[in-house]
């Protein structure tokens, strides 16, 4: 993975299909103990949004690699008092070896990348969530032995998860169908980006308002909360609009008989997914959550060139 050394991961589109597959395979090797790279470098975490899986998995990953983690809470740093992001970026670049940022605006992430030489990782923005999709693809690969030629159906809000799944799926040659209510479809520029990538990998990109059409024959059925962080005030109003997109027994009956269910968590049970499906035999949600650790460890190894 020498080609990734020193680079940023701001979007799934920053990776080629071969690089993405390489990270997934490295994650599996790290998980099974086939490789055990070590480092004494420092990872910074700069999160302006709440986090459980991303924060803990990045922290555990860096500690397991032998490195150190510095949690840069914006409320206890000068960022919270209005220091310009470009100034913070240039200073942190003198202290850290790699920085993961979770924030609202993709532009803030890009500003850090322009002003820092160290690798910058998108740990979630309103536009994308690439680190989650690394773990998703690892989980799919572990279960099916491949990602190419499979069909993933995503039901719900056309949010950052839908965006990264569209691009990530296209990169590895996996069909992606997104079913979302009118007015909640993925961003047109992301869809166009995924479609362009899919032309080269023979993947199919589908955007529909019909959840049954999206799920029919799918190998993977994926969902996320209907109101993302920052949209809590809209949550109750969204429920009647999104209820037809709930992943339940009836919807799962349309998927392939050997299909699996994924959810990036946290889950609102009996909203976007039923308790029965989340805890059912097809659910690989807990394996998926564990794989955040291994996928992010692989990403750190690749970007630091360990």
Give dist(CA 274, CA 291) in Å, integer.
23
Same domain, 136 and 284: yes
Enumerate the β-bridge partners of residue 9: 121
Q: Rounded CA gap, 214 and 29, in Å?
A: 33
Is residue 272 domain-shared with residue 151, that is, in the same domain?
Answer: yes
Residues near 132 by beta carbon (within 8 Å), at least 6 away in sequence: 54, 124, 161, 164, 264, 292
Q: Which residues pair with 14 in a beta bridge?
A: none
Range of the structural domain that residue 245 is part of: 132-288
Q: Is 282 exposed, middle or buried (0-12, 13-18, 19+ CB in 10 A)?
A: middle
Identify the pLDDT of residue 296.
97
Q: Are residues 61 and 152 in the same domain?
A: no
Which pairing describes strands 120-122 and 205-208: parallel, antiparallel, or unpaired?
Answer: unpaired
pLDDT value of residue 235: 75
| 220 and 122 within one domain | no
Q: Which residues, 6+ apart, have CB-to-CB distance to 253 below 8 Å?
A: none
Are 301 and 37 a contacting pair, CB within 8 Å? yes
Pairing of strands 98-102, 42-47: parallel
In this structure, are 100 and 245 located in the same domain? Answer: no
Among 302, 303, 301, which residue's Cα sits nearest to residue 37?
A: 301
Q: Under 8 Å CB-to-CB from 194, ≥6 apart: which residues?
A: 166, 167, 169, 170, 176, 205
C-alpha–C-alpha distance, residues 270 and 272, integer Å: 6
Q: What's the pLDDT score for residue 217?
A: 98
Domains held by the chain: number: 2
Residues 138 and 93 in one domain: no
Other CB atoms within 10 Å distance of the CB of residue 203? 26
Distances (CA, A) of 67 to 23, 37, 98, 100: 19, 11, 11, 14
Instruction: Clarify whether residues 138 and 112 are in a common domain.
Output: no
List, by residue number, the catalytic residues. Answer: 102, 129, 132, 224, 264, 292
* Rounded mean pLDDT, 253-264: 98
pLDDT tens string 90-130: 999 999 999 999 999 999 999 999 999 999 999 999 999 99
Whether pLDDT at 169 is above 80: yes
Same domain? For 81 and 226 the reply is: no
Please give, one letter per residue, the 3-state secondary structure of 110-152.
HHHHHHCCCCEEECCCCCCCHHHHHHHHHHHHHHHCCCCCCEE
Segment 56-79, tens digit of pLDDT: 999 999 999 999 999 998 777 887
pLDDT surpassing 80 at residue 135: yes
3-state secondary structure at position 87: helix
Residues 174, 98 share a domain: no
Shared-domain flag, residues 61 and 86: yes
* Whole-number pLDDT of residue 229: 65
Report how far residue 256's alpha carbon sits from residue 246's, in angstroms, rounded to the nearest whole number: 17
Given a contact cutoff of 8 angstroms between Cβ atoms, the answer to whether 294 and 109 are in contact is no
pLDDT of residue 234: 77
The pair of three-digit structure tokens given for residue 2, joined into one six-digit string? 């020498």
Residues 140 and 254 in one domain: yes
Q: Are strands 220-223 and 175-179 parallel, antiparallel or unpaired?
A: unpaired
The CATH number of residue 82's host domain is 3.40.50.1370
Same domain (yes/no): 15, 160:
no
> What is the number of other CB atoms lying within 10 angstroms of the CB of residue 29?
14
- What mean pLDDT is reported for the chain? 96
Percent of the chain with pLDDT over 90: 91
């Amino acid at each position: 993975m020498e080609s990734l050394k020193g680079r940023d991961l701001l979007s799934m589109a920053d990776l080629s299909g071969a690089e993405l597959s390489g990270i997934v395979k490295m994650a599996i090797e790290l998980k099974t103990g086939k490789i055990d790279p070590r480092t004494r470098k420092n990872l910074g975490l700069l999160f302006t949004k709440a986090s459980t899986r991303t924060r803990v998995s990045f922290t555990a990953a860096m500690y397991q690699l032998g490195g150190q983690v510095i949690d840069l809470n914006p409320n206890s740093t000068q960022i919270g008092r209005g220091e310009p992001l470009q100034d913070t970026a240039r200073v942190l670049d003198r202290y850290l070896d790699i920085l993961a940022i979770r924030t609202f605006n993709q532009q803030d992430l890009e500003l850090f990348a322009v002003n820092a030489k160290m690798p910058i990782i998108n740990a979630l923005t309103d536009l994308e969530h690439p680190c989650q999709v690394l773990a998703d693809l690892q989980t799919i690969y572990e279960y099916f032995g491949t990602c190419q030629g499979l069909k993933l159906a995503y039901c719900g809000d056309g949010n950052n998860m839908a965006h990264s799944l569209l691009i990530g799926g296209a990169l590895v040659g996996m069909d992606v169908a997104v079913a979302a209510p009118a007015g909640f479809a993925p961003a047109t520029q992301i869809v166009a980006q995924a479609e362009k990538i899919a032309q080269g990998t023979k993947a199919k990109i589908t955007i529909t308002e019909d959840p049954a059409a999206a799920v029919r024959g799918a190998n993977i059925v994926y969902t996320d909360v209907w109101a993302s962080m920052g949209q809590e005030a809209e949550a109750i109003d969204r429920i009647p609009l999104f209820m037809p997109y709930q992943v339940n027994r009836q919807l799962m009956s349309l998927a392939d008989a050997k299909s699996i269910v994924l959810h990036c968590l946290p889950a609102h049970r009996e909203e976007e997914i039923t308790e029965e499906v989340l805890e059912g035999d097809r659910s690989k949600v807990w394996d998926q959550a564990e794989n955040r650790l291994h996928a992010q460890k692989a990403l750190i190894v690749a970007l630091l060139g360990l």
